[in-house]
Amino acid sequence: MLAYILRRLLYAIPILIGVNLITFALFFIVNTPDDMARMQLGVKRVTPEAIAAWKAERGYDKPLFLNAEASGAAVVSDTIFFAQSARMFVGDFGRAEDGRDIAREISSRMGPSLAIALPTFVLGLLVTISLALLLAFFRATALDFWGVVLCVALMSVSGLFYIIGGQFLISKLWKLVPISGYAGGLDAWKFLILPVLIGVVSGIGSSTRWYRTIFLEEIGKDYVRTARAKGLAETVILFRHVLRNALIPILTGVVAVIPLLFMGSLLTESFFGVPGLGSYTIDAINAQDFAVVRAMVFIGSVLYIVGLLLTDLSYALVDPRIRFDR
């Protein structure tokens, strides 16, 4: 088991290097640092000196991959690629355009992101699994048919409308909770209800339909027929046998998403003015703050790889047929 985890961790290293190469190519080769300096400085202040100063301040004035002027290990290490990529592995992301330390900003914004993402995730899972179970129980009836129709309709509504509509109905018409904003500590709850509710509702359509398919697939299997032949009640079959077995693909599929919860949701956070990582990313995109976007891409990739690892482990934990000594 330990050897397996180690091997998976080692396998993650080339992927991270690949991610770094891709983002590096995107940020430094598609556009030269000169172009970026010109964008950042604006039209008015562009002088060769200003560009040079901008680049020197960020260390973008070095060669891209190989420094021919240096000697020894510095040929590789005194370059933009090495300087920008290597430090990311130790959690140093440099400074944003406004001079703040990105790593500190990220760690302080993780809390609000999680405060929305985690309840949304757990509640969403509970609600959609229950609804899917309901549809599977009443399969091939009018309830099932219209339930699926409703799911498809819910799927066809853009996420933007869920947020706009939810804010309008609950905050503006009924005045139940504030439209947007955030407060630290225990006061956060009234700011959290609406985003969490909207997050759950907007996920109902696609997830319920997907889980319903998994349940129906499970119901068609032989052991269910056997259980029925033994005379078990339909509810017992559904809750005892089908639910447990169907949870394996559902939960293992869902595990991959858990680490990404840290990233928050771009849409929700920017609509509700939550100072999380999602809104941080959006602000960086709008301000064309390349360092922040690059840092977020890196963190996102790390979390995704952690998610893959967790998925493999969870498969092994819930399904004894899977063994590691391959």
Partner 1 sequence: MSALPFLPVLLWSDVLVWLMAIAALLLGIASTRQPQLAAAWRRVGRSRPGMASATLVLVFVVVGLLDSLHYRPLLPAAPDAPAAPAAYAVETLSLLDSIAEPLRTRNEKTYSAPLATRAFAKETREERAADGSVRQVRDFPRLRYGGAHLGDADGTSDASSASAGPAADDGTQTATARPRLSEADRDIDITRRAGSALAAALALWALLLLAATSLLARREAVPLAEASRRLWRGETVFAWKAVLLTLAAVFIVAAPLLALCADYHVFGTDKVGQDVFYQVLKSVRTALVIGLVTTLTTLPLAIFFGLAAGYFRGWVDDLIQYLYTTLNSIPGVLLIAAAVLMMQVLIDTHPQWFSTAAERADMRLLALCFILGMTSWTGLCRVLRGETLKLRELEFVQAAQSFGVADLRIIARHILPNVMHIVVIALVMDFSSLVLAEAVLSYVGIGVDPTMISFGTMINNARLELAREPMVWWSLAAAFTFMFALVLAANLLADAVRDAFDARLAGSS
Binding-site member from 5, 9, 22, 122 for partner 1 (CB under 8 A):
22
Q: Kindly tell me the sign of the dihedral angle through the C-alpha atoms of 226, 230, 231, 232.
A: negative
> What whole-number distance in Å separates Cα of residue 306 and Cα of residue 219?
32
* Binding-site size, partner 1 (CB under 8 A): 49
Q: Kindly tell me the sign of the dihedral angle through the C-alpha atoms of 81, 82, 84, 89.
A: positive
Per rule CB under 8 A, is residue 150 in the interface with partner 1? no
| Residue closer to partner 1, measured from CB, 230 or 326 | 326
Instruction: List 101's β-bridge partners, or say none.
Output: 95
Binding-site member from 62, 109, 241, 294 for partner 1 (CB under 8 A):
294
Binding-site member from 128, 304, 309, 314 for partner 1 (CB under 8 A):
304
Per rule CB under 8 A, is residue 116 in the interface with partner 1? no
Report DSSP letters for 141-198, one per residue: SHHHHHHHHHHHHHHTS-HHHHHHHHIIIIIIIS--S-SS---SGGGGHHHHHHHHHH
> What whole-number distance in Å separates Cα of residue 139 and Cα of residue 325?
41
Query: Which amino acid, one-letter code, is at 175?
Result: K
Binding-site member from 47, 130, 141, 288 for partner 1 (CB under 8 A):
288
| Residue closer to partner 1, measured from CB, 227 or 252 | 252
Binding mask 230-269 for partner 1 (x = CB under 8 A): ------------------------------x--x--xx--
Q: Classify residue 65 by its DSSP letter.
A: S
Are the C-beta atoms of 273 and 182 separated by less than 8 Å?
yes
Per rule CB under 8 A, is residue 47 in the interface with partner 1? no
Phi (first) and psi of residue 264, to 5 degrees: 70, -175
Question: What's the start-to-end Cα distance of the chain, in Å?
Answer: 11
Report in angstroms how near the CB of residue 128 gets to partner 1 at its nearest: 18
Q: Classify residue 67 by its DSSP letter.
A: -
Binding-site member from 46, 300, 313, 318 for partner 1 (CB under 8 A):
300
Angle between helix axes 243-255 and 290-318 (nearest 10 degrees) is 150
- Structural tokens at position 159: 């996420």
Per rule CB under 8 A, is residue 54 in the interface with partner 1? no
Stretch that binds partner 1, among 29-37, 45-53, 226-234, 245-253 (CB under 8 A): 29-37
Per rule CB under 8 A, is residue 161 in the interface with partner 1? yes
Report in angstroms how near the CB of residue 94 gets to partner 1 at its nearest: 16
Is residue 52 packed enough to be buried (19+ CB in 10 Å), middle (13-18) or exposed (0-12)? middle
Report in angstroms how near the CB of residue 63 gets to partner 1 at its nearest: 20
Report in angstroms how near the CB of residue 251 gets to partner 1 at its nearest: 21
Per rule CB under 8 A, is residue 84 in the interface with partner 1? no
Per rule CB under 8 A, is residue 270 in the interface with partner 1? yes
Report in angstroms how near the CB of residue 233 gets to partner 1 at its nearest: 30
Per rule CB under 8 A, is residue 36 in the interface with partner 1? yes
Helices and strands, number each (H, E), in the chain: 15, 0
Per rule CB under 8 A, is residue 145 in the interface with partner 1? no
Angle between helix axes 48-58 and 33-41 (nearest 10 degrees) is 110
Chain residues that interact with partner 1, rule: CB under 8 A = 14-16, 18-19, 22-23, 26-27, 30-31, 35-36, 38-39, 152-153, 155-161, 164, 167-168, 172, 179, 260, 263, 266-267, 270, 281-282, 285-286, 288, 290, 293-294, 296-297, 300-301, 304-305, 308
